Amino acid sequence: MITDTHTHLYSEQFDTDRSEMIQRAKDAGVSRFFIPAIDSSYTNSMLELEKNFKNDVFLMMGLHPTSVKENYKEELAHVKEWIDKRDFVAIGEIGIDLYWDKSFLQQQQEAFRTQIQWAKEKKLPIVIHCRDAFDEIFEVLELEKGDDLFGIFHCFTGTLEQAKKAISYNMKLGIGGVATFKNGKIDKFLHEIDLEHIVLETDAPYLAPTPYRGKRNESSYIIRVVEKLAEIYGISFQEISEITTQNSKHVFNL
């Protein structure tokens, strides 16, 4: 059993072959798909996905930092409305992204803290998106840290020091295709991180692992990540699958 803790199965990139793509993942041994939110424009697609694959997918709700714009308060209200209306497995993906645009940093920080507080109220994990913003993310986590703060640092691409700091805030590290890249860097120190802190993800349709790098990613490709971690940790494919799936069950309280 393999768990993909972060995959955008509702993406338009899968509109022509979604069912076949999900079946390929199941055939490869992937049995759970955790679905992060982006903003209100994707909510209906997420709900439709859940309806069509109700035993396989688990939905999160949240406002992605790159969708924090002038109307961010309306978008946050949309998130709050939905988390009060029904159950979700996490608040995500949320965080700070300074790669594309730094002009909404203050609003991103506010949205991040607000959603962390909602997660605490609902006793839910958070799933963090961080791009060019480790210091800013850690600043917020330092303010919010405690036993009621926990979750996943999605698509972790930082240093060993940053990995240890993320773990100190009760975060698992979401490891995906980057671990297979020649210049991914995290493969050089991952063996120093106990496997109990690791969960697997694809971030499909983005960040396809080697040998598919640059192409559309899909959840079946997670086996390349499992193979790479088996090599890094010097244990079997089966052990990596079992331990990381158990970690995901712990985070998502399944």
* 122-136 residues labelled b (16+ CB within 10 A) or e (exposed): eebbbbbbbbebbeb
User: Under 8 Å CB-to-CB from 25, ≥6 apart: which residues?
Assistant: 4, 33, 218, 219, 220, 222
pLDDT of residue 231: 97
- pLDDT by residue for the chain (254 residues), tens only, comes to 999 999 999 999 999 999 999 999 999 999 999 999 999 999 999 999 999 999 999 999 999 999 999 999 999 999 999 999 999 999 999 999 999 889 999 999 999 999 999 999 999 999 999 999 999 999 999 999 999 999 999 999 999 999 999 999 999 999 999 999 998 899 999 999 999 999 999 999 999 999 999 999 999 999 999 999 999 999 999 999 999 999 999 999 98
Positive or negative CA dihedral for 90, 197, 154, 57? negative
Distance from C-alpha of 185 to C-alpha of 191, rounded to nearest angstrom? 12
Q: From residue 242, give the alpha-carbon distance in Å to each of 36, 173, 209, 225.
A: 22, 16, 20, 14
Query: DSSP states of 220-246 as a string?
Result: GGHHHHHHHHHHHHTS-HHHHHHHHHH
Integer Cα distance of 160 and 157 in angstroms: 10
Q: What is the pTM of this model?
A: 0.97
- For tokens 């203050």, the residue is 106
The CA distances from residue 92 to 61, 129, 187, in Å, are 6, 8, 25
Distance set, CA 174 to CA 7, 43, 44, 63, 245 (Å): 11, 23, 26, 19, 12
- Compute, in degrees rounded to 10, the torsion defined by CA atoms 83, 43, 17, 27: 0
DSSP state of 71: T
